A and B are shown apart, each in its own frame.
Chain A
């Protein structure tokens, strides 16, 4: 794939995989309001994925639409960051993952809204308004859990410790992105780090939690090197169109 198509694929896969993960909470969340919130956030993400994967397919020019890319690729062809494919765990773990992701995605889309690619700019300008709600939801729950009971605090600390190793990949830049950054199409993710760090630190301080110590980053998703979890996620997500190709409602 050419770099722009690859970049659109990455954006789409991040949203698609996390959207699918969040949908697993449907009917299982601790309260009805959270059930609604996680399903809504998942829906927004799948909506973003539809646009970004649609763009990737159009640029590729081999007749694959968003559905073909979502349901017709195997694990090695997915380009999402590892963070989004990690299992939901308990509610605190899900919130910790969302906290890192949504704060990053809000900054990313805010910049991408000025991308020199019109489609990426349009989708981002629209989506960033929705993602602001996601980030606010996650931030508030971090505070509620961190500054809550002993139980909620210990769980959110564990969730944050577990997910932290996947944060660095959000800010990685490689050959695919470098050329696009130079052209004003992609965002240099490294430039988002200071503001992200500040946001994370601010909410963690409010939650009376400590920022986890730096650790060896786990990366590889952008190159298709995924954890075992993604295959299981895909087997559920892709089951129907694979078993019944061409099925419609």
Chain B
């Protein structure tokens, strides 16, 4: 499969920093909604999100655990708690993700932070950030449909991440990892993965 370099748009560290900040604020507002009580926690949360935005997903290294919406929130306290959520029930990467996050926190001097796993509310592909969706596309993986589309099991045809054509067919609903299905572009003939809608 031909893939575009994943982090093409993130080549400069300085640019990456500002981009991460924008993503975090986008994500933070989505997570927190109208809840204003957590304002004082913002600083620690922002820092943790920034650290973890450098932790790649072990199966799809073009996106970080923050991009995927795995990192949910930071609760201050003694010790402070980081809440993460598994993507798929049987995802074998869950353990690898938790240990990668542990290592990143330890290295950043947050060894006392406890990691909690929350199953509820259940993770959905709608939690993948817009930046994450774009990174998936650049990597050669069609991002999942959003919003109302995910309630329909009869999904719209995937859009080819290489040429953008919507004239594609599903080859297999189950792919190389639990989160992906296999497709083929009928125009440019590229075979590609699609992130399954959950």
Name A residues whose Cβ lies closer than 8 Å to a Cβ of B. 19, 32-33, 36-37, 39-41, 43-48, 50-51, 118-119, 121-123, 125-127, 129-130, 132-133, 136-137
Contact = CB atoms under 8 A, between A and B. Distances in A.
Contacts of A40: 174-175, 178
B174 A41 contact: yes
Contacts of B123: 126
Nearest to B123: A126
A47 B173 contact: no
Give the bracket for the number of chain B residues in contact with chain A.
20 to 34
Contacts of B121: 125
B117 to A, nearest CB: 10
Given A47-B91, A48-B90, A121-B120, A33 B171 contact: yes
Interface in B177-198: 178, 182, 196, 198
Given A125-B120, A125-B122, A37 B89 contact: no
B149 interface: no
B158 to A, nearest CB: 15
Contact of A33 (B118, B153, B172, B196): B172
Contacts of A129: 122, 198
Nearest to A39: B174
B92 interface: yes
B88 A37 contact: no
A123 B175 CA distance: 23
Given A47-B91, A136-B153, A36 B175 contact: yes
Contacts of A126: 86, 89, 119, 122-123
B176 interface: yes
A139 B121 CA distance: 29
Nearest to A123: B119
15 contacts: A33-B172, A36-B174, A36-B176, A39-B174, A43-B178, A47-B88, A51-B89, A122-B122, A123-B89, A125-B121, A127-B89, A129-B122, A130-B88, A133-B173, A137-B173
Contacts of A125: 119-122
B89 A47 contact: yes
Interface string B61-99: 000000000000000000000000010111110000000
A125 B175 CA distance: 23
